[in-house]
Structure 1
Amino acid sequence: NIDVQIVESIDPNGPFGAKEAGEGSLSGFPGALVNAIADAMGVRVTELPVTPDRLMAAIEAYEKERAA
Protein backbone atom coordinates (compact mmCIF):
# COMPACT_ATOMS: atom_id res chain seq x y z
CA ASN A 1 0.00 0.00 0.00
CA ILE A 2 1.05 3.56 -0.67
CA ASP A 3 0.18 6.18 1.89
CA VAL A 4 -0.11 9.62 0.27
CA GLN A 5 0.23 12.70 2.44
CA ILE A 6 0.15 16.37 1.55
CA VAL A 7 2.95 18.41 3.05
CA GLU A 8 2.25 22.12 2.88
CA SER A 9 5.06 24.63 2.85
CA ILE A 10 5.25 28.30 2.00
CA ASP A 11 7.72 29.75 -0.48
CA PRO A 12 8.79 33.18 0.79
CA ASN A 13 9.67 34.29 -2.76
CA GLY A 14 6.40 33.36 -4.44
CA PRO A 15 3.26 35.47 -4.56
CA PHE A 16 1.12 34.65 -1.53
CA GLY A 17 3.60 31.88 -0.68
CA ALA A 18 2.82 29.97 -3.88
CA LYS A 19 5.30 27.75 -5.68
CA GLU A 20 5.83 26.94 -9.32
CA ALA A 21 3.37 24.34 -10.54
CA GLY A 22 5.00 23.27 -13.78
CA GLU A 23 5.87 26.38 -15.72
CA GLY A 24 9.51 25.29 -15.77
CA SER A 25 8.68 22.68 -18.35
CA LEU A 26 7.79 25.48 -20.77
CA SER A 27 11.29 26.96 -20.75
CA GLY A 28 12.36 25.01 -23.84
CA PHE A 29 9.33 25.95 -25.89
CA PRO A 30 10.54 29.26 -27.43
CA GLY A 31 13.70 27.67 -28.79
CA ALA A 32 11.77 24.72 -30.15
CA LEU A 33 9.29 27.08 -31.80
CA VAL A 34 11.87 29.21 -33.60
CA ASN A 35 13.77 26.08 -34.67
CA ALA A 36 10.56 24.60 -36.09
CA ILE A 37 9.91 27.83 -37.98
CA ALA A 38 13.48 27.83 -39.30
CA ASP A 39 13.12 24.22 -40.39
CA ALA A 40 9.78 24.81 -42.10
CA MET A 41 10.41 28.24 -43.61
CA GLY A 42 14.16 28.29 -44.10
CA VAL A 43 14.55 31.55 -42.17
CA ARG A 44 15.49 32.19 -38.58
CA VAL A 45 13.52 34.60 -36.42
CA THR A 46 15.82 36.07 -33.77
CA GLU A 47 13.33 38.01 -31.64
CA LEU A 48 10.51 36.87 -29.43
CA PRO A 49 7.60 36.87 -29.57
CA VAL A 50 7.41 35.57 -33.11
CA THR A 51 4.83 37.76 -34.79
CA PRO A 52 3.64 37.72 -38.39
CA ASP A 53 5.48 41.02 -38.96
CA ARG A 54 8.76 39.67 -37.61
CA LEU A 55 8.40 36.49 -39.63
CA MET A 56 7.73 38.45 -42.82
CA ALA A 57 10.70 40.72 -42.09
CA ALA A 58 12.93 37.67 -41.68
CA ILE A 59 11.64 36.19 -44.94
CA GLU A 60 12.17 39.48 -46.79
CA ALA A 61 15.68 39.88 -45.38
CA TYR A 62 16.51 36.32 -46.39
CA GLU A 63 15.19 36.86 -49.92
CA LYS A 64 17.08 40.16 -50.24
CA GLU A 65 20.31 38.52 -49.05
CA ARG A 66 19.80 35.59 -51.38
CA ALA A 67 19.18 37.87 -54.39
CA ALA A 68 22.36 39.88 -53.76
Structure 2
Amino acid sequence: MNIMVNSYFSGAGLFDIGLLEGGLQIGKSFEIDLRCCKVQYQTLGDHVVQADISQSSHLTMRVTMQ
Protein backbone atom coordinates (compact mmCIF):
# COMPACT_ATOMS: atom_id res chain seq x y z
CA MET A 1 0.00 0.00 0.00
CA ASN A 2 1.37 3.40 -1.01
CA ILE A 3 0.76 6.26 1.39
CA MET A 4 0.96 9.75 -0.13
CA VAL A 5 1.74 12.70 2.17
CA ASN A 6 2.46 16.40 1.79
CA SER A 7 5.38 18.02 3.55
CA TYR A 8 5.14 21.53 5.03
CA PHE A 9 7.98 23.85 6.12
CA SER A 10 10.26 21.45 4.26
CA GLY A 11 13.52 23.34 4.21
CA ALA A 12 16.09 21.57 2.07
CA GLY A 13 14.21 18.28 2.40
CA LEU A 14 15.95 16.46 5.26
CA PHE A 15 12.64 15.56 6.91
CA ASP A 16 11.34 14.52 3.50
CA ILE A 17 14.24 12.09 3.14
CA GLY A 18 13.05 10.43 6.35
CA LEU A 19 9.52 10.20 4.97
CA LEU A 20 10.81 8.59 1.77
CA GLU A 21 13.04 6.17 3.65
CA GLY A 22 10.05 5.27 5.81
CA GLY A 23 8.19 4.13 2.71
CA LEU A 24 5.93 7.15 2.22
CA GLN A 25 5.49 9.00 -1.05
CA ILE A 26 5.56 12.80 -1.11
CA GLY A 27 2.80 14.44 -3.12
CA LYS A 28 3.95 18.02 -2.63
CA SER A 29 6.56 19.62 -0.43
CA PHE A 30 5.89 23.25 0.51
CA GLU A 31 8.71 25.65 1.39
CA ILE A 32 8.87 29.46 1.33
CA ASP A 33 12.66 29.84 0.86
CA LEU A 34 13.69 29.67 -2.81
CA ARG A 35 17.23 28.47 -2.01
CA CYS A 36 15.87 25.55 -0.02
CA CYS A 37 13.43 24.75 -2.82
CA LYS A 38 16.24 24.63 -5.35
CA VAL A 39 18.27 22.25 -3.17
CA GLN A 40 15.26 20.03 -2.66
CA TYR A 41 14.40 20.12 -6.37
CA GLN A 42 17.92 19.00 -7.26
CA THR A 43 18.13 16.24 -4.66
CA LEU A 44 14.58 14.91 -4.30
CA GLY A 45 12.66 15.85 -7.43
CA ASP A 46 10.08 18.26 -8.76
CA HIS A 47 7.39 17.80 -6.11
CA VAL A 48 8.64 20.90 -4.24
CA VAL A 49 6.48 24.03 -4.35
CA GLN A 50 7.77 27.43 -3.30
CA ALA A 51 4.88 28.98 -1.43
CA ASP A 52 3.82 30.96 1.58
CA ILE A 53 1.16 28.55 2.80
CA SER A 54 -0.65 31.40 4.56
CA GLN A 55 -1.54 32.50 1.02
CA SER A 56 -3.66 29.62 -0.28
CA SER A 57 -3.57 30.89 -3.87
CA HIS A 58 0.14 30.00 -4.00
CA LEU A 59 -0.29 26.31 -3.21
CA THR A 60 -0.17 25.32 -6.90
CA MET A 61 3.06 27.16 -7.82
CA ARG A 62 6.13 25.13 -8.77
CA VAL A 63 9.79 26.04 -8.67
CA THR A 64 11.21 26.80 -12.09
CA MET A 65 14.87 25.90 -12.37
CA GLN A 66 16.95 28.26 -14.48
State which structure, 1 or 2, has the greater radius of gyration over its C-alpha atoms.
1
Question: What TM-score, normalized by structure 2, do the two folds share?
Answer: 0.24
Instruction: Write 1 or 2 for the structure with the bigger share of helix.
Output: 1
Instruction: Write 1 or 2 for the structure with the bigger share of strand.
Output: 2
Q: Which has the higher contact order (CA 8 A, sep 6+)?
A: 2
